[in-house]
Amino acid sequence: MSIDTTLSELPKQYDHAAAQKRWYPYWEEQGFFHSEPDPVRKPYAIVIPPPNVTGALHLGHALNNTLQDILIRMKRMQGFETLWMPGTDHAGIATQAVVERRLLQEEKLSRHDLGRQGLVDRIWQWKNDYEARIVAQLKQMGCSCDWARLRFTLDEVCARAVRETFFALFKKGKIYRGKRLVNWDTYLQTAVSDDEVFHEPVKGHFWHFSYPVVNPRPGEPTHITIATTRPETMLGDTAVAVHPDPAAALEQAEKELRRRLAEAPAKEKPDLQKQIDEIERRRREMLPSLEKLRDMARRGAMLELPLTYRKIPLIEDEWAKPELGSGCVKITPAHDQNDYDVWQRHPKIGAVNILNPDGTLNKHVPKKYRGLTVKRARDAVVADLGAAELVVEVEDREIDLAHSDRSKTPIEPYLADQWFIKMDELAQSAMDAVIDGRVKIIPERYAKGYLDWLGEKRDWPIGRQLWWGHRIPVWCGTFSFDDFGEELKDKQRRLLEAMQRKLEDTPPEEIEDLNQKKAKFFNESHVAAYKFLQREYGDKVAAQHRPGEELSGVSVFVCVKPGNEHIERELEQRWGLTRVEDVLDTWFSSALWPLSTLGWPEQTKELKYYYPTNVLITSRDIITLWVARMVLMGLHNVGEIPFHEVFIHPKILDGYGEGMSKSKGNGVDPIDVMDKFGADSLRFGLAYLTTETQDVRMPVEFECPHCGKLIEQTRKNRVLPTIECKHCGKRFSTQWAEKPEDKALPRGAVVSERFELARNFCNKLWNASRFALMNLDGFDPGRVLDDELFVEDSWLLSRLATVTEQVSEALEQYRYADAARTLYDFAWDEFCSFYVEMVKGRLQDDVGRMVAQRVLAHALDVLLRLLHPMIPFLTEDVWQRLGRLAPERGIDEPLPAAESIMTSPWPECDPMRQDPEIEAQFARFKEVLRVVRDIRARQNVPPKTPIRFSVRCGADVAELLAPMKPYFSSMAGAEPVEFGPDATAPALSAGATLPNIEVYVDLAGLIDVEAEIARKRREAEKLAGFIAAKEKKLSNAGFVERAPAEVVQKEREGLKDLQDQLAAVKQVIERLTAAL
C-alpha cells in the first residue's frame, strides 16, 4: 500500500471518504478480520445481534455495531484470538409482510397467486438485496466482522441447529401441540406472540345487552344484563357468570380501596372515595339481586342466548366482579383470555369459535352472520338485538385495542391449535444462570425485567402460519391398525361393536366402563404406533399422539431427526403422512444463534474454542425476547450459557425523546451521517454518547440537497414524501417518497449536528498528526534517557500512562463515553494544545530535534493505538504514514511498528512514567499561562504586541516555573521578567492572583486603568464571599470536630490562600487608583 507523506498529500481537512475507501479493502485482503481457533491464544468472541433483512440499518444498529467493533478491535490488539461473528436474521413475519405488501402494491398479486414456493422465492430475492445492503453498511462503518463466517438464520447450517433442537425438545415432550387462545392477525392470517402486539386506544362503545332467563321462577329476574365492547362475540358465548360470594367480593374490593385511600396522595383521594361510595351503593341496591342470581346459578338456571337461540348456563365464577357493571359477565372462551380461563374452571360450558382464519364469521353462528367481517357482524348483531329490544344502553368509550405489530390491524383473540414450548424448567435454568452470576447483565438493573419475565414461565407459542421461516419438522397423519398386528385390530373391532351397542342399551356403569376401555385402547394403540415407528426407524423419529379420538386409526405427530430425508419421503409416500404447514417463530432460530453460527450440533473446533462467547451487546427491548431465550437454549442444548456478559446499551431517541422507528419516520440512515461526517465521526460520536443511564437524544435535520442548508425535522414534516426547502425554495424527497415524480427529486439526507463534535475532533487529530508527520523527516529511532526529557516530555508521558490506564479500564467495563471523553480531552487539551505547541521550538532546533521527534512519534503512536477502536480509519491512515517516516519507534527500546495499526499491540500503562510532581508543576505553568493570556485579552492587547510580566511566588514555585520560561514567550507572546519572592509589580500593571502566586503584566501605556480597577473590585468581592463562607464553615464547631482532620486542614489552608489573594488584589487596586 503506497502512501505519500509529502505535504501535498496531506490536505488540511481529513478526507474520510478516501481513508475509508483505502483501508477497509486493505484490512479485508490482509485477512485481519478472520479468526481461526488457536490453542496457544485465548479466544474472545462476540456474536452479532443479527440485523433483520426487513430493511436497511438505522442509527440504532450503528450504535450497536460500533460498540461491538470497539471491543473487538481492542481485544484483537490485546492479543486475543478475536472473532466477531456476523450474520442476518430472516425475521419471519416482518419480512413476509413487507414483501407481500409490495407484491400487492406493485403487481396486484396476493401470496396465494404465487403459491408457497413462489412467494418464498420472492422473499429470498428480497433477503439477498437487503443482506447485501446491510453488509455494505457494516463495512462502511468499519466493522471488523469475520465475513468468511457470515450466517443467515435460515441457511442450512442454522437450519440444522433448529431441526436438532426441535427434535430433542419434541422427543422430551417439551414441544407440544395444544389448543390455546392466541393473538390472531386476521390480515396475515397467523398467530402472533404477545411480543408482536401493541396496544392503541381507539374510540368504541360499551354495549349493555340483556339476556332472557329460561323459565324464571317466581321472584327471579326475567332478564340478566351483561356488557361488552365486542358485541359480535356474543354469538360465541357459552355462559354468563356471576360471583359465588358477591358480598365478600364487595367487602374485599372496598378493603383494598380503603387501603389505597390511606396511602394515596391528596389528588387521588376524591376519586377513591367516590369508588368506595359506589361500592356502598351497590351493596345496598344490587347485592340482594346478585345473591339471587348466584342462587339461580347454583340451581342450574339457563339463559337464552339471543339471536342464536342456544341455551347457556348461568354459572358461578370469581371472574365476575360485583363491583363492575351489572355484576354479571358474558363468557366467550374462544375469544377472550379471561373467559378462556373461566372455561378451564368450568369445562362443561364448552367453547364456540366463531371466526374463520381470515376474520370472517364461521359456520358456528346463525346463517345470516356467516361470512361477515367482524366489523359488519358487529353492526348486524347490534341492530338485531336492538330490534329485539334487548339493548339496554350504549356508552361511548375509549378502548385499548390490541393491534398486530406486523400488519397494524386489530388482533382477534382466537382459539387455535398451536405448537408450544413448555417453559417451566427451561425458564428456570435461564433464571438460575443470571441469579448465580454465570451470566452477568450490565447495567445490573436490567436483570430484574429478565427475571420477572422468565418467572412467569408462560409457554412459548412457536408456530406461525407463515411461509417464510423454518418449516416445522413434523409430519402428521393417521396410521391404519392394519400396520400394528391382529391383536390391536381385534380390540378395535370389539370396541367398535361395543360402541354400536351402547347406542341401543345404556346402563351408565357400562358407558363409564366403555369410556375407560376406549381410553385404554387409545393408549395401547399409540404405544403400538410408537413401537412400530421405533422398529422401522429407530431413534431417528419421535412421535406424539395427536388430539382427536377417531377409532379408525392412530393419529400421530412424527418428528424426524435432521439428515433423514429418506424417512421424510417414506412417511409421506408410504404412510400418507403430510408435513405440518406452519413455520417456527423467528426467535426460535435466533435463540440458537450463538450455537448455530459456531456449527452446533456438529462438535466443531469453533464451538469448542469460542463457546461460550464473551459478551452479547444489545438493546434493552429484546432482553426477554432474545437474550433470555438464547440462555435457555444454550443451557438446554449444550449445558452451557452462551455468553458471560450481556451489555445493554442506550436507545437512540429523536429530538422529542421518542424512540426512532421506521413507522414514525424519524429514523436516520447511518450512511447519511457517514457521507457528511465520515465513519470515524459516526463511531466516535456514538461512543461519546454511550453513557450508562441516559438514552441518546438526537435532534435531526434534513439537509437540503440544493443549497446544503439544514431544516429541522418536526413531527409534521418527518412523514412527508417531499419537503420544500425554506432557504432556497426548492423541493427535495424523503424516505417516504413513492410516487415517481417525488422519487425523481434529489433526496434530502437526514443528519444530526450532534456528530459535529466528533467530526471536529477527527479533524483536530488529523491536523495534529499532519504536524507531526511534517516534522519527522530525518527521524532517527533510539532510546530516550530520562535526563534527556524536557518537562513537557515527562508531563506528556505521565499523562499518557494515566490515560492508557483509564481508557483500558473504561472499555473493559463498557464505559464507552468515559473512554471517549478521556481521549478527547487528552488529545485536544493536552496533546494538541500544550505538547504540540511546546515541542515546536525544539523541532526547529538542530540539537533538540532528535529527542523531540522521538517523544513526539512515540506519543502519537500510543495515542493512535488508543483511539483506533473508535476511529479506525483515521488512525490507520496516519499509522501508515507514520510508518514510512518512523518505521521503528518507541522511547524505551525502538521497535518496528506493526504493518497495520489493527495488528499492533494495545498500549499498556507504564506506572514508572506516572509522575504526580511533574503534573503538579505543569498545572502551575498552565495556570500562570492562562492568567497572562487572560490579561492580554481583557486589556485588548493585540496578539502580536509583546508584553512583559513578573511572577511573585515562593522560591519553590519559581524553581518549577523557571524551565518553562521560553514557553510563555512562544505561547502567550509574553516575556518573563522576574520569578520569585522578590518580584515586584511595575507601576502600571494588570495583575492576577492565584493561590500563592501573583502575576503582574507590565502594561505601561496599554492599560485601561479604570476598567482594570472595576474588574479587580469584582474579583475582591468574589473572594470576600468565598472567605466569608469558609470562615463560617470553620467557626462551625460541628464541622471542626466531626469532619475528617485532613478536610478541616484543607479548609484552613484554603482560607489562608483566599485571604492572601484578597490582600494582593486590594494592593493592586490601591496601586492602580494611585496611578490614575
Task: Please list every residue from 304 through 323 that binds RNA, using CB under 7 A.
Answer: 320-321, 323
Q: Among 48, 141, 181, 227, which residue interacts with RNA (rule: CB under 7 A)?
A: 227
Identity of the residue, 14 or 979, whose beta carbon is nearer to RNA in the bound complex: 14
Identity of the residue, 728 or 1047, whose beta carbon is nearer to RNA in the bound complex: 1047
Q: Does 1035 bind RNA (CB under 7 A)?
A: no
Name the phi and psi angles at 264, rounded to 5.
-75, 150
Q: Does 346 bind RNA (CB under 7 A)?
A: no
Q: Does 261 bind RNA (CB under 7 A)?
A: no
Q: Among 272, 832, 1006, 1024, which residue interacts with RNA (rule: CB under 7 A)?
A: 832
Q: Does 809 bind RNA (CB under 7 A)?
A: no
Q: Among 292, 1039, 1066, 1067, which residue interacts with RNA (rule: CB under 7 A)?
A: 1039
- Which region among 346-354, 504-512, 636-644, 753-761 touches RNA (by CB under 7 A)? 753-761
Q: Among 581, 658, 1021, 1070, which residue interacts with RNA (rule: CB under 7 A)?
A: 658
Q: Does 124 bind RNA (CB under 7 A)?
A: no
- Which region among 603-611, 801-809, 915-923, 1027-1035 touches RNA (by CB under 7 A)? 1027-1035
Residue 7, classified by CB atoms within 10 Å of its CB into exposed (0-12), middle (13-18) or buried (19+), is exposed
Name residues whose C-beta falls within 8 Å of residue 1023's C-beta, 6 or more positions apart in sequence. Answer: 1058, 1061, 1062, 1065
Name the phi and psi angles at 212, rounded to 5.
-70, 145
3-state DSSP assignment of residue 206: strand
Q: Does 889 bind RNA (CB under 7 A)?
A: no
Q: Does 107 bind RNA (CB under 7 A)?
A: no
Q: Using CA of residue 174, residue 179, residue 180, residue 185, what is the dihedral sign? A: positive
Residue 1051: CB minimum distance to RNA, A: 6
Three cell numbers at 31? 485477512
Residue 946, classified by CB atoms within 10 Å of its CB into exposed (0-12), middle (13-18) or buried (19+), is exposed
Residues in 760-799 that interact with RNA by CB under 7 A:
760, 762-764, 767-768, 770-771, 774
Identity of the residue, 401 or 514, whose beta carbon is nearer to RNA in the bound complex: 401
- Name 182's bridge partners: 414
Amino acid at position 1035, single letter: S
Continuous segment of H or E residues that includes residue 392: strand 391-404
Q: Among 324, 496, 707, 923, which residue interacts with RNA (rule: CB under 7 A)?
A: 324
Q: Among 168, 498, 757, 977, which residue interacts with RNA (rule: CB under 7 A)?
A: 757
Cα–Cα distance, 250 to 253 (Å, whole number): 5
Identity of the residue, 223 or 321, whose beta carbon is nearer to RNA in the bound complex: 321
Residues in 905-924 that interact with RNA by CB under 7 A:
none
Q: Does 399 bind RNA (CB under 7 A)?
A: yes
Residue 208: CB minimum distance to RNA, A: 8
Q: Among 933, 948, 1066, 1071, which residue interacts with RNA (rule: CB under 7 A)?
A: 933
- Which region among 101-109, 584-592, 856-864, 931-939 touches RNA (by CB under 7 A)? 931-939
Q: Among 215, 252, 337, 516, which residue interacts with RNA (rule: CB under 7 A)?
A: 337
Number of Cβ atoms within 10 Å of the Cβ of 452: 11
Name the phi and psi angles at 239, rounded to 5.
-170, 165
Q: How many residues bind RNA (CB under 7 A)?
A: 98
Identity of the residue, 122 or 403, whose beta carbon is nearer to RNA in the bound complex: 403
Q: Among 114, 235, 329, 951, which residue interacts with RNA (rule: CB under 7 A)?
A: 329
Q: Does 1036 bind RNA (CB under 7 A)?
A: yes
Residue 677: CB minimum distance to RNA, A: 7
Cα–Cα distance, 1076 to 1070 (Å, whole number): 10
SS (H, E, C) 710-775: EEECCCCHHHCCEEECCCCCCEEECCCCCCHHHHCCCECEEECHHHHHHHHHHHHHHHHHHHHHHC
Residues in 11-30 that interact with RNA by CB under 7 A:
12-14
Residue 390, classified by CB atoms within 10 Å of its CB into exposed (0-12), middle (13-18) or buried (19+), is middle
Interface map 410-439 toward RNA (x if CB under 7 A) = ------------------------------
Number of Cβ atoms within 10 Å of the Cβ of 553: 17
Identity of the residue, 615 or 941, whose beta carbon is nearer to RNA in the bound complex: 941
Residues in 1057-1076 that interact with RNA by CB under 7 A:
1058
Cα–Cα distance, 3 to 881 (Å, whole number): 6
Number of Cβ atoms within 10 Å of the Cβ of 6: 9
Residue with cell 347457556: 312
Q: Does 930 bind RNA (CB under 7 A)?
A: yes
Q: Among 40, 219, 1038, 1074, which residue interacts with RNA (rule: CB under 7 A)?
A: 1038
Residue 353 and residue 236 in contact, taking contact as beta carbons nearer than 8 Å: yes
Q: Among 150, 711, 791, 1043, which residue interacts with RNA (rule: CB under 7 A)?
A: 1043
Residue 916: CB minimum distance to RNA, A: 17
Q: Does 813 bind RNA (CB under 7 A)?
A: no
Residue 608 and residue 567 in contact, taking contact as beta carbons nearer than 8 Å: no
Residues in 266-305 that interact with RNA by CB under 7 A:
267-268
Identity of the residue, 368 or 445, whose beta carbon is nearer to RNA in the bound complex: 445
Residues in 573-632 that interact with RNA by CB under 7 A:
621
Residue 870: CB minimum distance to RNA, A: 16
Q: Does 1030 bind RNA (CB under 7 A)?
A: yes
Residues in 710-739 that interact with RNA by CB under 7 A:
none
Cα–Cα distance, 246 to 291 (Å, whole number): 7
Q: Among 270, 350, 485, 699, which residue interacts with RNA (rule: CB under 7 A)?
A: 699
- Which region among 563-571, 610-618, 654-662, 801-809 touches RNA (by CB under 7 A)? 654-662
| Cα 619-623-624 angle, rounded to 5 deg | 150
Continuous segment of H or E residues that includes residue 1048: helix 1045-1075
Distances (CA, A) of 771 to 117, 471, 824, 844, 1019: 62, 61, 18, 13, 40
Q: In what order do the strands lie in the sheet with 197-212?
A: 223-228, 197-212, 391-404
Residue 136: CB minimum distance to RNA, A: 23
Distances (CA, A) of 746 to 664, 677, 728: 22, 20, 14
Give exposure, 972-1006, as e/b (b: 16+ Cβ within 10 Å). bbbebeebbeebebbebbbbbbbeebbbbbbbeeb
Residue 363: CB minimum distance to RNA, A: 25
- Name 397's bridge partners: 204
Q: Does 1056 bind RNA (CB under 7 A)?
A: no
Identity of the residue, 74 or 227, whose beta carbon is nearer to RNA in the bound complex: 227
- Which region among 111-119, 505-513, 709-717, 942-950 touches RNA (by CB under 7 A)? 942-950
Interface map 206-225 toward RNA (x if CB under 7 A) = x-------------------
Cα–Cα distance, 1030 to 1048 (Å, whole number): 10
Residues in 190-209 that interact with RNA by CB under 7 A:
194-195, 199, 206
- Which region among 151-159, 350-358, 560-568, 929-937 touches RNA (by CB under 7 A)? 929-937
Q: Among 4, 129, 400, 712, which residue interacts with RNA (rule: CB under 7 A)?
A: 400
Residues in 442-471 that interact with RNA by CB under 7 A:
445, 448-449, 452-453
Q: Among 30, 273, 338, 534, which residue interacts with RNA (rule: CB under 7 A)?
A: 338
Contacts of 450-454 spanning 24+ positions with Cβ under 8 A? 450/623, 450/624, 450/627, 450/628, 453/623, 453/624, 453/628, 454/423, 454/427, 454/428, 454/430, 454/624, 454/628
Amino acid at position 488, single letter: L
Q: Does 653 bind RNA (CB under 7 A)?
A: yes
3-state DSSP assignment of residue 574: coil
Residue 85 and residue 597 in contact, taking contact as beta carbons nearer than 8 Å: yes
Three cell numbers at 24? 477497509
